[in-house]
DNA sequence: TTAATTATCGGAAACGTTACCGAAAAGCGT
DNA sequence: ACGCTTTTCGGTAACGTTTCCGATAATTAA
């Protein structure tokens, strides 16, 4: 099987290789007629430029990476899909890489950037606790999306971030539950180490309780144990069972992620507890699934599409030096559904 | 920022570039001491080989592509994750690409193969109706996984396939429902064109009814209309509503994909129908979610992990010419859960 | 000791493309 | 007619790596 190269096309058309190159890359210095002739030949012989050769030669390889930690969370699937679409629009290649729980995201980023000559990175999920020094070594712009708080000792001018105010929105959710009359509110929280999203949402929970003079009961705080897939249904299910076994009474259960809430719903059902009559259940993220469970689950909807679009656009703009690093905070939307009702004392 | 190349490393170590190349690629013709010295320098200076240059020069670029049609189906997510893991094990790069509903999978494959110099392709999902001639042009081995029937006019020696016998297993599911006493069994089917999976499962449904002397009632066959995301919860929900509006009585509903079943569950609930007391509900695929819904959903579990592993291994073996094309058919497992019960007349 | 083999290495030609530089041709004003 | 700019193009040096080929040094066989 004959695979034509740019040289073959040039030879066929009786032009130089640089002219063919100009034709494929929409360069201005070319006669429209010549260009058309070349494009015809390209179609006829099925020529496709070799990506490796291009990236090798080009200074500005058009590619970015998306590094995801915790793919188990369905919330990210939507995010990734949208980011991919945006990349296609801008004719950028997108390198998707999952980061294992035990891997260091910056190390992976570093490797992948050098390997593939990427122009930028999007970090999705995970927590983040790295030195600024190490980050600088990346030497490409990066933006964090839904990635928890970044430690104070890293200059905010050194990176971009896109997220909702997890702590505040979490507090809003708990305040909503309190407003319904609940005082014994249990919380299901995964990956609560350091400055992770889980930790932030837990803090929001504490904020809300505190500001309403409700004492924080450690027995109502249930940390999931599974290290591998933090925000999974299975994790929510098992954790809720452990919570119930403790025997501590509560009238509302707040899971810091929808996937956890779905697992919780099942565990509550098996324990003979009705939602929302016996227990109100709330989640966070706003994944589609919460609309289809029975009962549907009250949640904090993050504007995924918008966030994903802005994430991509922001990164492109930074690459093109059209803008400096930014920190965009979105409002989440409290989506009240069937799983929450008045309750409490 | 200084990015060392292989030349820099060679210069630093006082050796030739080819020696460094031998060191990184575990070639035999190298002194262990030299190798260690080189590896030390590589670590110290943070050298990472440029992937483009490698792939350009190498005849056997270590990369394959996974082309997915219909990412909305959560079943594929697991598949992809496992395939990715297997690739990592074999130190192969995996290029993941989604195929839009209106795109031709072989055209995309062709482009991507040439662009990235891939060694093989895995097709996931979608239907398949292409000429053998066109397939041959791909010029790399490919395997179809869970992709429906391939037309007779394509030689089975020209490709590999990995799947369950969709038609037979679908019939098994329906026979199980019949065994429970159901005769009025509605079916929810998406993407039923040509030789797609949906069509196959629909045929299995017909087979089972026919072999039990039950007349096939067209009004109980509900084809989803949404072109874009065939196997989505939303699609299942909307289709079930349309089915209910028809007013045709039925005691069991069989959705040809779990995602559809989950949407259906919600629609049935909203219509005041209890599952399984009023309506038995069954799905197909065996995604995790079916364990967590209330009630949990009876389904045909496909051995995802095994299938994904075998798909990858098979492709690698074919690339390495260790084996010829194969057609592996797996047994699905009927997972009876809460959503089905005795019923019917 | 000498010849033959082996282990280890360096040089240099590719791989397919882009980007720079300069040249030819064509258009323009005078 | 002339010089000037503009348009259009071809030649060629990179990009960073692998791989081939041959060379040297070290080892073994005779």
Residue A48 CA distance to nucleotide C17 C1' (Å): 12
Q: Is A274 on the interface with B (CB under 8 A)?
A: no
The pLDDT of A232-258, averaged and rounded, is 96
Average pLDDT in chain B: 91
Tell me what pLDDT residue A128 has. Answer: 63
- Please tell me which residue, A343 or B323, carries the higher pLDDT value: B323
Residues 72-91 of A with CB under 8 A from B: 74, 77, 81, 84
Residue A34 CA distance to nucleotide C14 C1' (Å): 30
Show residues, CB within 7 A, near nucleic chain C: A 3, 5-7, 17-18, 21, 24-25, 47, 49-50, 53-54, 56-60; B 10, 14-19, 22, 29-35, 53, 56-57
Nearest CA in chain B to A267: B292
From the list A50, A233, A234, which residue is nearest B117 (CB)?
Answer: A50
The answer to whether the CB of B287 falls within 8 A of the CB of B236 is no
Q: Is A324 on the interface with B (CB under 8 A)?
A: no
The pLDDT tens digits of the residues spanning A300-309 come to 999 999 999 9
**pLDDT band, very low/low/confident/very high, at A158 (cuts 50, 70, 90):** confident
Tell me what pLDDT residue B226 has. Answer: 61
Q: Is B303 on the interface with A (CB under 8 A)?
A: no
Interchain contact, A1 vs B115, CB within 8 Å: no
Tell me what pLDDT residue A264 has. Answer: 98
Tell me what pLDDT residue B148 has. Answer: 76
Residue B23 CA distance to nucleotide D15 C1' (Å): 22
Where residue B30 sits, what CATH number does that domain have?
A: 1.10.260.40
- B296 and B191 in a single domain? The answer is yes
Q: Is B294 on the interface with A (CB under 8 A)?
A: yes
Contact residues on chain B for A116, CB-CB shorter than 8 A: 51-52
Asked whether residue A31, judged by its CB, lies under 7 Å from any atom of the DNA or RNA strand D, the reply is: yes
Q: Is A59 on the interface with B (CB under 8 A)?
A: no
In strand D, the nucleotides that come within 7 Å of a protein beta carbon are 7-12, 14-21
Q: Is the pLDDT of residue B345 over 60?
A: no
Our CA-based measurement puts residue B21 at a distance from the nearest CA of chain A, in whole angstroms, of 15
**pLDDT band, very low/low/confident/very high, at A179 (cuts 50, 70, 90):** very high
DSSP state, B272?
A: T
Nearest CA in chain B to A236: B292
From the list A117, A291, A292, which residue is nearest B52 (CB)?
Answer: A117
Domain carrying residue A99 = 63-165+303-332
Interchain contact, B265 vs A294, CB within 8 Å: yes
- Secondary structure element (H or E) that encloses residue B181, with its range: none
DSSP state, A298?
A: B
- A124 and A273 in a single domain? The answer is no
Tell me what pLDDT residue A311 has. Answer: 96
Closest nucleotide to the alpha carbon of A8, via C1': C16
Contact residues on chain A for B55, CB-CB shorter than 8 A: 52
The pTM of this model reads: 0.90
Tell me, yes or no, whether B174 lies in a domain: yes
Sign of the C-alpha dihedral computed for residues A211, A213, A216 and A217 taken in this order: negative
- A114 and A124 in a single domain? The answer is yes
Interface test with B, best of A294, A296, A338 (most B CBs within 10 A): A294
- Please state, in angstroms and as integers, the Cα–Cα distance from residue A173 to each residue in A187, A300, B36, B161, following that order: 11, 7, 57, 49
Tell me what pLDDT residue B33 has. Answer: 93
The pLDDT tens digits of the residues spanning A43-82 come to 999 999 999 999 999 877 789 999 998 777 888 988 999 9
- Secondary structure element (H or E) that encloses residue A84, with its range: helix A74-89
Tell me what pLDDT residue A123 has. Answer: 93
Q: Is the pLDDT of residue A91 over 70?
A: yes
- A156 and A210 in a single domain? The answer is no
Our CA-based measurement puts residue B65 at a distance from the nearest CA of chain A, in whole angstroms, of 12
The pLDDT of A20-47, averaged and rounded, is 94
Extract the runs of DSSP E, i.e. beta strands, from A30-137: 63-69, 93-99, 120-124
Which residue pairs from B158-162 have beta carbons closer than 8 angstroms and sit at least 24 positions apart in sequence?
Answer: B158/B132, B158/B325, B159/B135, B159/B325, B160/B314, B160/B315, B160/B318, B160/B325, B160/B326, B160/B327, B160/B328, B161/B327, B161/B328, B162/B307, B162/B310, B162/B311, B162/B314, B162/B328, B162/B330
From the list B52, B117, B288, which residue is nearest A56 (CB)?
Answer: B52
**pLDDT band, very low/low/confident/very high, at B135 (cuts 50, 70, 90):** confident
Domain tally for chain B?
3
- B220 and B130 in a single domain? The answer is no
Q: Is A137 on the interface with B (CB under 8 A)?
A: yes
Q: Is the pLDDT of residue B323 over 80?
A: yes
- B172 and B273 in a single domain? The answer is yes
The pLDDT tens digits of the residues spanning B234-259 come to 999 999 999 999 999 999 999 999 99
The answer to whether the CB of B163 falls within 8 A of the CB of B170 is no
The answer to whether the CB of A53 falls within 8 A of the CB of A21 is no
Q: Is the pLDDT of residue A287 over 90?
A: yes
**pLDDT band, very low/low/confident/very high, at B197 (cuts 50, 70, 90):** confident
Nearest CA in chain A to B263: A292
The pLDDT tens digits of the residues spanning B46-56 come to 999 999 999 99
Tell me, yes or no, whether A282 lies in a domain: yes
- B289 and B174 in a single domain? The answer is yes
- Please tell me which residue, B183 or B105, carries the higher pLDDT value: B183
The pLDDT of B168-184, averaged and rounded, is 97
To which residue do tokens 């839904």 refer?
A146
Average pLDDT in chain A: 91
Region of poorest pLDDT, from A96-100, A339-343, B29-33, B223-227: B223-227
Tell me what pLDDT residue A78 has. Answer: 87
The pLDDT of B203-229, averaged and rounded, is 89
Our CA-based measurement puts residue A109 at a distance from the nearest CA of chain B, in whole angstroms, of 12
The answer to whether the CB of A188 falls within 8 A of the CB of A240 is yes
Closest nucleotide to the alpha carbon of A115, via C1': D16
The pLDDT of A100-123, averaged and rounded, is 88
Q: Is the pLDDT of residue A343 over 70?
A: yes
Tell me, yes or no, whether A345 lies in a domain: no
3-state secondary structure of A227: coil
Interchain contact, B49 vs A115, CB within 8 Å: yes
Interface test with B, best of A52, A95, A296 (most B CBs within 10 A): A52
Residue B48 CA distance to nucleotide D23 C1' (Å): 30
Interchain contact, B56 vs A61, CB within 8 Å: no
- B187 and B236 in a single domain? The answer is yes
Instruction: Please return the burial class of A109, using the count of CB atoms within 10 Å of its CB with bins 0-12, 13-18 and 19+.
Output: buried
Query: What's the rounded Cα separation, in Å, for the pair B189 and B1?
Result: 57
- B247 and B98 in a single domain? The answer is no
- A15 and A74 in a single domain? The answer is no
The pLDDT of A7-11, averaged and rounded, is 95
Query: What's the rounded Cα separation, in Å, for the pair B331 and B345?
Result: 31
- A160 and A108 in a single domain? The answer is yes
Tell me what pLDDT residue A250 has. Answer: 97
Where residue A214 sits, what CATH number does that domain have?
A: 3.40.50.2300
- B103 and B190 in a single domain? The answer is no
- Please tell me which residue, A178 or B135, carries the higher pLDDT value: A178
Q: Is the pLDDT of residue A236 over 90?
A: yes
- Torsion of the alpha carbons at A196, A197, A203 and A204, rounded to the nearest 10: 160
Q: Is the pLDDT of residue A152 over 80?
A: no
Residue A29 CA distance to nucleotide D6 C1' (Å): 11
Asked whether residue A41, judged by its CB, lies under 7 Å from any atom of the DNA or RNA strand D, the reply is: no
Q: Is A337 on the interface with B (CB under 8 A)?
A: no
The answer to whether the CB of A285 falls within 8 A of the CB of A300 is yes
Asked whether residue B56, judged by its CB, lies under 7 Å from any atom of the DNA or RNA strand D, the reply is: yes
Degrees to nearest 5, angle at CA B98 with B264 and B312: 95
Residues whose CB falls within 8 Å of the CB of residue A73, separated by 6 or more in sequence, listed in order: A125, A230, A231, A232, A257, A259, A285
Residues whose CB falls within 8 Å of the CB of residue A176, separated by 6 or more in sequence, listed in order: A282, A298, A334, A336, A340
Beta bridge pairs of residue A122: A66, A143
The pLDDT tens digits of the residues spanning B59-79 come to 777 889 999 987 778 899 889
Interchain contact, B294 vs A269, CB within 8 Å: yes
Q: Is the pLDDT of residue B130 over 70?
A: no
Q: Is the pLDDT of residue A345 over 60?
A: no
């Amino acid at each position: 099987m004959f695979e034509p190269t740019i040289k073959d096309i040039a030879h066929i058309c009786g032009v130089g290789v640089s002219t063919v190159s100009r034709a494929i890359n929409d360069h201005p210095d070319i006669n429209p007629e010549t260009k058309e002739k070349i494009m015809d030949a390209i179609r006829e012989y099925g020529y496709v430029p070799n990506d490796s050769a291009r990236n090798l030669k080009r200074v500005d390889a058009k590619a970015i990476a998306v590094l995801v930690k915790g793919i188990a969370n369905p919330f990210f699937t939507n995010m990734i899909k949208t980011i991919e679409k945006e990349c296609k629009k801008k004719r950028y290649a997108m390198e998707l890489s999952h980061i294992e729980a035990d891997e260091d995201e910056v190390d992976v980023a570093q490797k992948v950037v050098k390997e593939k000559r990427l122009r930028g990175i999007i970090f999705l999920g995970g927590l983040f606790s790295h030195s600024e020094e190490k980050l600088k070594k990346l030497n490409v712009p990066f933006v964090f999306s839904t990635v928890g708080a970044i430690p104070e000792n890293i200059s905010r001018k050194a990176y971009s971030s896109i997220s909702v105010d997890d702590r505040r929105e979490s507090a809003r959710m708990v305040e909503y539950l309190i407003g319904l009359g609940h005082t014994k509110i249990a919380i299901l929280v995964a990956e609560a180490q350091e400055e992770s999203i889980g930790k932030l949402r837990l803090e929001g929970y504490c904020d809300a309780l505190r500001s309403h003079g409700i004492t924080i009961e450690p027995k109502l705080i249930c940390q999931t144990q599974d290290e591998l897939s933090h925000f999974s249904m299975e994790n929510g299910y098992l954790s809720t069972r452990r919570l119930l076994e403790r025997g501590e009474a509560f009238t509302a259960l707040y899971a810091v992620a929808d996937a956890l809430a779905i697992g919780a719903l099942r565990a509550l059902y098996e324990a003979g507890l009705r939602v929302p009559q016996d227990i109100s259940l709330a989640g966070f993220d706003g994944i589609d699934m919460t609309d289809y469970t029975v009962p549907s689950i009250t949640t904090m909807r993050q504007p995924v599409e918008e966030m994903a679009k802005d994430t991509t656009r922001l990164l492109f703009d930074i690459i093109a030096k059209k803008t400096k690093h930014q920190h965009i905070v979105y409002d989440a939307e409290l989506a009240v559904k069937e799983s929450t009702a008045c309750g409490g004392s």
